[in-house]
């Protein structure tokens, strides 16, 4: 499968985010970036994961790190999800799957015996120069944010 590899610069793609923003990865140079992919707004695991990032937000700020959550949900859905949970970071709408393809996070999944293609919960750590430094795939929510913070501290 495709995707960006550890040690490679992240392509300068455009990101459509909450708070009516359009940014590029190059806009974030000088900061570390945590890009976390999650399946769907307002579902139990995704809500808990976002809340864990929210609850540790100050620690990420101390490490000069920007957090961006990514799913294929619409900006309207993201705005509601962000507001409801008081997320201090933006969410990215990847409705066309560009970022999902770039980071190779789409996997076959099963729900109630039916197969479908969806986002595998994954997190990527990008350094201040825009280079992918760490990836976490098949993430289990519990304890995950602590592992991401450890990876940032090791940069």
Beta-bridge mates of residue 90: 68
Average pLDDT over residues 70-99: 96
130 token code pair: 């825009």
Report yes or no on 32 lying in a domain: yes
pLDDT value of position 1: 44
Domain-located, residue 6: no
Q: Quick check: is 148 in a domain?
A: yes
Average pLDDT over residues 73-100: 96
Q: Per residue in 102-146, pLDDT tens?
A: 999 988 887 788 887 889 999 999 999 999 999 999 999 999 999
**Which residues are 117's β-sheet partners?**
108
Residues 69 and 89: beta-carbon distance below 8 Å: yes
Query: Is 2's pLDDT higher than 70?
Result: no
**Any domain includes 126:** yes
Predicted structure pTM score: 0.94
Is 86 a catalytic site residue? no
pLDDT tens track for 42-51: 999 999 999 9
For the chain, the domain total comes to 1
Handedness of CA 41, 56, 89, 34 (dihedral sign): negative
Please pick, among 15, 46, 67, 91, the residue that the annotation labels catalytic.
Answer: 46
What is the span of the domain harbouring residue 69?
A: 14-153
* Residue 2 located in a structural domain: no
* Residue 4 domain flag: no
Asked whether residue 68 is assigned to any structural domain, the reply reads yes
Residue 93 included in any domain: yes
Q: Is residue 40 within 8 Å of residue 71, measured between CB atoms?
A: yes
Domain with 135 in it: what CATH number? Answer: 3.40.30.10
**pLDDT for residue 85:** 97
């Amino acid at each position: 499968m495709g995707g960006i590899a550890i040690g490679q610069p992240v392509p300068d793609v455009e990101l459509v985010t909450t708070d009516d923003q359009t940014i590029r990865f190059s806009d974030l140079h000088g900061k570390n970036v945590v890009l976390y992919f999650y399946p769907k707004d307002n579902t139990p695991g995704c809500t808990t994961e976002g809340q864990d990032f929210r609850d540790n937000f100050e620690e990420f700020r101390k490490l000069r790190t920007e957090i961006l959550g990514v799913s294929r949900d619409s900006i309207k859905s993201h705005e509601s999800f962000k507001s409801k949970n008081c997320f201090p970071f933006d969410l990215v709408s990847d409705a066309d799957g560009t970022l999902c393809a770039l980071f190779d996070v789409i996997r076959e999944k099963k729900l109630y015996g039916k197969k479908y293609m969806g986002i595998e919960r994954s997190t990527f750590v990008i350094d201040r120069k825009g280079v992918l430094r760490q990836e976490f795939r098949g993430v289990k929510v519990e304890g995950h944010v602590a592992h991401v913070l450890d990876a940032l501290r090791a940069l």
